[in-house]
Amino acid sequence: MKVAVVHDWLITIGGAEKVLKEILTIYPDADVYCLLDYFDDHNRGRILNGKPTHVSYLQNIPFARKRYRLLVPFLYKAVQRFDLSEYDLVISSSHAVAKGVKTREDQPHFSYCHTPVRYVWNMKKTYMKQIPKQARRLAGRQLNKMQKWDLETAKQVDYFIANSKFVANRIEKNYSRESRVINPPVDVDFYRLPDAQDDAPTEKPYFLVVSRLVHYKRVELIINAFNSMPNHKLVVVGEGPQDEMLKELAGSNIEFTGFLRSKEMRHFMQHAEAMVLAAIEDFGITSLEAQACGTPVIAFDFGGYRETVVHMKSGVLYPAQTMDSIVWGVNEYLRNRDKFIPEDVRKNALRFGPERFRDELTNFIREKLETPCLTE
């Protein structure tokens, strides 16, 4: 059997790319298709095991690498230009348009859905606010077209896989389709408790944010919360279009590291007081990576965090997506700090290891195809 794996784009490493890595571990000979691929050698080795990809014509647009979000009106057309007619099995890893790839009627298509397209469903209003007023009418028409396309192509997927119960509910609401929930993999071997080889930081303890600096992550709420708690240090790891705005907003107790490689990021996770998160997440791999390091998580009690953080056992869930609620969450953690034992926090993350993901995905595909696993 020939297998094609279709991914939206390869620009930075996030949860979707970690899922892609494990899919390719199951199907190492699969060909990878994506709209854009700007991975350097390090990331290509880490996620694709050095494998090349088939890219779309959008790759040749000069500004695509830094401003790919402007290409939204073209994404869904580009993905349908891929010719996958020679493959026996198609697996899409989709948070945008990958699931819309064209397949034959006799060609099984499994779509691992990280989320239905945010900017045409649950975040459409938020996305529109970020567009200049003079362009909103045109953008609105394009998003309406894309929503219609997204709904139509959902009918062509044979089997949906959701990364969480939260996303499964969205798939049912938006697409009227059932899905199998298979939670993403968490590298619990790499993200581990600190040991003698891990040098502890010499500075005072800090709270940690690890996030892309984009609007829906709501990092500004966390920064405002820590502006009101100047005696507590906050370290922000990540980069994105909100970088400069957030730095201007931050007080002197807040430090920005920019992009960090995995080992550096793990070091910050291992020695933080707690990780603080404010987004409505589809699942929340980052929160589990921190927990695998024994670090509790302070997160918004909604969406995927309800499935990844156990309140008062592996972290604190605060009730509202507001600055005051984050302050409450931090203080609630500090009042109960002694209850959070690193080994116990890590146990929660161990439920989501990569072997479990590979077994569940392999078994689901085998169940539906009624054929042996391709790696056997």
Average pLDDT, whole number, for the chain? 92
pLDDT of amino acid 199:
60
**Residue 278 neighbours by CB under 8 Å, 6+ apart:** 217, 218, 219, 221, 222, 299, 300, 321, 326
pLDDT of amino acid 375:
39
Domain ranges of the chain: 3-185+353-369, 206-350
28-37 pLDDT, tens digit each? 999 999 999 9
Radius of gyration of the chain (CA): 21
| Cβ proximity of 309 and 343 under 8 Å | no
For residues 322 and 318, what is the distance between their CA atoms, to the nearest angstrom?
A: 9
* Domain topology for 206-350: Rossmann fold (3.40.50)
Q: Spell out the long-range contacts of 128-132 with Cβ–Cβ below 8 A and sequence spacing 24 or more.
A: 130/215
pTM: 0.90
For residues 28 and 199, what is the distance between their CA atoms, to the nearest angstrom?
A: 36
Domain spanning 3-185+353-369: CATH 3.40.50: yes
pLDDT of amino acid 75:
86
Given a cut of 50, the residues of the chain with pLDDT beneath it are: 372-376
Burial 87-113 (b: 16+ CB within 10 A, else e): bebbbbbbbbbbbbbbbeeebbbbbbb
| Cβ proximity of 99 and 33 under 8 Å | no
pLDDT of amino acid 157:
97
Residue listed under structure tokens 């040098």: 199
